[in-house]
Structure 1
Amino acid sequence: MAINNPYATYQNNSVNTSTPGELTLMLYNGCLKFIEQGKRALEEGRIEEKNKSIQKAQAIISELMLTLDTSYPVAKNMLVLYEFANSRLIDGNIKNDSAFFDEASSIITEFRDTWKQVIQINRQKQYGSVDGI
């Protein structure tokens, strides 16, 4: 229960008070976290844990895909890259090969870093500051 857990309360408040852009950044970071957890679990032979972590990363990618507005040409290109990253996670999960996870992680890292820059530029335009990210 969040009331008894200060960390859970903080997380809940972070999500509830974040802008849509910040939420997207959280999704990217969460996806990367789960990919790393999956890689670590694979290295340690914890196959079930690997599978759970990779499936969580896939769920995040699916959510990112669903929220794209494909009326913009760039979104269609992003969709292709999300699909590719997702396929790399599936292949890595099936074949127990972390090289596939690295490929997916690389794509998501690029998206995350670009998104972070967009947020910083927008903040700078809005508030004259890029602090806080």
Structure 2
Amino acid sequence: MAYTASAAQQYRQNSVLTTTPADLTLRLYQGLVKFLRTALTGIEQGKLEDVNTNLIKSQDILRELLCTLNMGVPIAKDMAAMYEYMLERSMEANMKKDKEIIKEILGFAEDFYDTWMKVTKAVKV
């Protein structure tokens, strides 16, 4: 069993190391959507610890997206402002356990994911 866990860990590590920056960004968006949906489900089920855990994971992803922006690209300032807004709203949603705020952030996250998916497909063609 230890061998299997170690092999799986090695596979994940190699997968991250060999993935393009565009694909890594797509994975971040995918994780953001997943954690926000899970937080929303946690609110609906009254599992406040799950809400907290998943909103913190969402915030970590938003911080990573902020850190990886290439500020030399004109749209980066707008993206940074949007990520910062989403981060602030996520913290507010966590304090208030507010599902409407989570839905708002989730809508933005899904839009980013869908757009980035189209961009990466267009570039690979």
Query: What residue is the counterpart of 1:114 in the other structure?
Result: 115
Q: Say if 1:34 and 1:57, in contact at 8 Å, map to a contact too.
A: yes
Task: Compute the TM-score of the two structures, normalised by the length of structure 2.
Answer: 0.88
Give the SS at the match of 1:120: helix
Moved more, 34-43 or 2-11: 2-11
CA apart distance, 1:46: 1.3
Taking only aligned residues, the RMSD between alpha carbons, in angstroms, comes to 1.9
Distance 1:93 1:33, change over 3 A: same
Query: What residue is the counterpart of 1:49 in the other structure?
Result: 50
Q: Say if 1:58 and 1:89, in contact at 8 Å, map to a contact too.
A: yes
CA distance in 1, matches of 2:28, 2:50: 20
Distance 1:7 1:101, change over 3 A: farther
Query: What residue is the counterpart of 1:104 in the other structure?
Result: 105
CA distance in 2, matches of 1:21, 1:82: 17
- Which structure has more RCO (C-alpha within 8 Å, separation ≥ 6)? 2
Q: Say if 1:34 and 1:54, in contact at 8 Å, map to a contact too.
A: yes
Q: Say if 1:3 and 1:9, in contact at 8 Å, map to a contact too.
A: no
Query: What residue is the counterpart of 1:33 in the other structure?
Result: 34
Task: Compute the TM-score of the two structures, normalised by the length of structure 1.
Answer: 0.83
Q: Say if 1:58 and 1:86, in contact at 8 Å, map to a contact too.
A: yes
Q: Say if 1:25 and 1:115, in contact at 8 Å, map to a contact too.
A: yes
What count of residue pairs does the alignment treat as equivalent?
Answer: 124
Letter of the structure 1 residue corresponding to residue 123 of structure 2: N
CA distance in 1, matches of 2:124, 2:11: 23
- Structure 2's unaligned 5+ residue stretches are none
Identity of aligned residues (%): 35
Query: What residue is the counterpart of 2:96 in the other structure?
Result: 95
Q: Say if 1:2 and 1:8, in contact at 8 Å, map to a contact too.
A: no
Query: What residue is the counterpart of 1:130 in the other structure?
Result: none
